[in-house]
């Protein structure tokens, strides 16, 4: 139960029916009305009743039955309670009290209008049931006609649990490996701008140095007449011409022991002495460590001439 409103009137005339309260419903409700009337004459029949104007328009309908007690002599304070009265939103409810012919100046009236929340609560619950059950049904309509059994779900969760365990182990090992690497990083690594500046310097060196290398290689290729790793025919001929034109004076005294030069000199510019054939340079100096024993083979070709002859 919940009291919605109340009103108080003093020194009223109840000899004719008096409108003691008016209430306009602001929602569908179940109402009760209580009236307390003081300083009445008593010793007669009193009545209280309610009228309703439906949705605030048209006739006022008296709700039956009236509450009409017979008040004993000497009773000057009486009360009325109506039956439950259902009303619609915007219905206009009026409460009346009718007394005796002598109740013209002194009666005081207190009127209370109450709501039966039990009925409203039931209606509200019914409304929730309608909407919430509809919402639940909208979800369950999307479920398969034959959902997975509890055993299948349990197996799936077991598989998921195993997978999570594997992932957890990877996290343990891989995070540790990553940490081992990051532990080697400096506490304050180079700022991105520093790295960018260093790369710009390197890029500049690459641009200039590579360009220089290309220029130098092109120059070498141009000077040697090569096409990469092979000498051109003209270059090889030029080298042969230089070798053939080089005189003994250019290498005399500097050629290595047992070189082709010394072999030639031993044939063309040498003499026999102390049982050996000794080669000499064009200046007459003996070539060091080049004395060769004379062959005593009778079939050997004779050596003709002497040094300086």
* Best mean pLDDT range from 67-81, 116-130, 191-205, 221-235: 67-81
Quote the pLDDT of residue 76. 96
Residue 307 DSSP SS3 = coil
Q: In terms of residue numbers, what domain contains 81? A: 2-120
Structural domains counted in the chain: 2
Quote the pLDDT of residue 252. 60
Q: For residue 280, what are the β-bridge partners?
A: 286
Segment 5-11 shows an average pLDDT of 97
Residue 202 lies in a domain: no
The model's confidence at residue 169, banded by pLDDT at 50, 70 and 90, is: confident
Segment 84-95 shows an average pLDDT of 97
Q: Is the pLDDT of residue 120 over 60?
A: no
Contact 303, 273 (CB under 8 A): no
Residue 51 lies in a domain: yes
The model's confidence at residue 98, banded by pLDDT at 50, 70 and 90, is: very high
Q: pLDDT tens digit string along 23-82? A: 999 999 999 999 999 999 999 999 999 999 999 999 999 999 999 999 999 999 999 999
Quote the pLDDT of residue 41. 96
| C-alpha closest to that of 55 among 83, 94, 87 | 87
Quote the pLDDT of residue 168. 84
Q: Is the pLDDT of residue 281 over 80?
A: no
* Chosen domain end from 120, 154, 174: 120
Q: pLDDT tens digit string along 219-259? A: 777 766 655 556 678 888 888 777 666 665 666 666 665 66
Residue 150 lies in a domain: no
Q: For residue 35, what are the β-bridge partners?
A: 80, 111
DSSP class of 257: T
The model's confidence at residue 179, banded by pLDDT at 50, 70 and 90, is: confident
Quote the pLDDT of residue 309. 44
Q: For residue 292, what are the β-bridge partners?
A: 277
* Chosen domain end from 120, 150, 179: 120
The model's confidence at residue 308, banded by pLDDT at 50, 70 and 90, is: very low
Residue 238 lies in a domain: no
What CATH number corresponds to the domain at position 49? 2.60.120
Residue 190 lies in a domain: no
Residue 170 lies in a domain: no
Residue 193 lies in a domain: no
Residue 214 lies in a domain: no
Alpha-helical regions (H) of the chain: 117-140, 150-182, 192-224, 233-244, 248-251, 260-268
β pairing state of 2-9 and 108-115: antiparallel
**What average pLDDT does the chain have?**
81
């Amino acid at each position: 139960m919940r009291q919605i409103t109340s009103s108080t009137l003093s020194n009223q005339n109840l000899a004719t029916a008096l409108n003691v309260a008016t209430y306009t419903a602001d929602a569908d409700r179940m109402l009760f009305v209580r009236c307390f009337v003081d300083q009445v004459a008593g010793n007669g029949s009193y009545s209280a009743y309610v009228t309703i104007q439906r949705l605030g328009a048209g006739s006022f309908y008296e709700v039956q039955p009236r509450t009409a007690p017979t008040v004993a002599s000497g009773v000057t304070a009486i009360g009325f309670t109506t039956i439950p009265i259902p009303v619609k939103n915007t219905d206009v409810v009026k409460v009346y009290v009718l007394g005796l012919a002598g109740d013209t100046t002194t009666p005081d009236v207190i009127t209370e209008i109450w709501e039966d929340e039990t009925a409203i609560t039931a209606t509200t619950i019914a409304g929730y049931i309608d909407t919430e059950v509809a919402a639940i049904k909208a979800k369950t309509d999307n479920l398969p006609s034959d959902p997975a059994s509890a055993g299948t779900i349990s197996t799936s969760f077991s598989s998921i649990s195993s997978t999570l365990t594997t992932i957890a182990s990877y996290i343990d090992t891989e995070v540790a490996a990553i940490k081992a690497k990051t532990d080697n990083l400096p506490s304050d690594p180079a700022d991105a701008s520093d790295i960018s500046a260093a790369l710009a310097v390197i890029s500049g060196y690459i641009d200039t140095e590579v360009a220089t290398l290309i220029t130098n290689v092109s120059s070498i290729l141009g000077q040697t007449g090569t096409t990469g790793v092979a000498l051109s025919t003209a270059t090889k001929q030029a080298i042969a011409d230089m070798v053939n034109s080089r005189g003994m004076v250019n290498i005399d005294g500097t050629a290595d022991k047992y070189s082709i030069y010394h072999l030639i000199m031993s044939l063309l510019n040498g003499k026999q002495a102390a049982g050996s054939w000794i080669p000499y340079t064009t200046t007459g100096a003996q070539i060091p460590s080049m004395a060769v024993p004379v062959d005593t083979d009778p079939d050997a070709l004779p050596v003709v001439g002497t040094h300086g002859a």
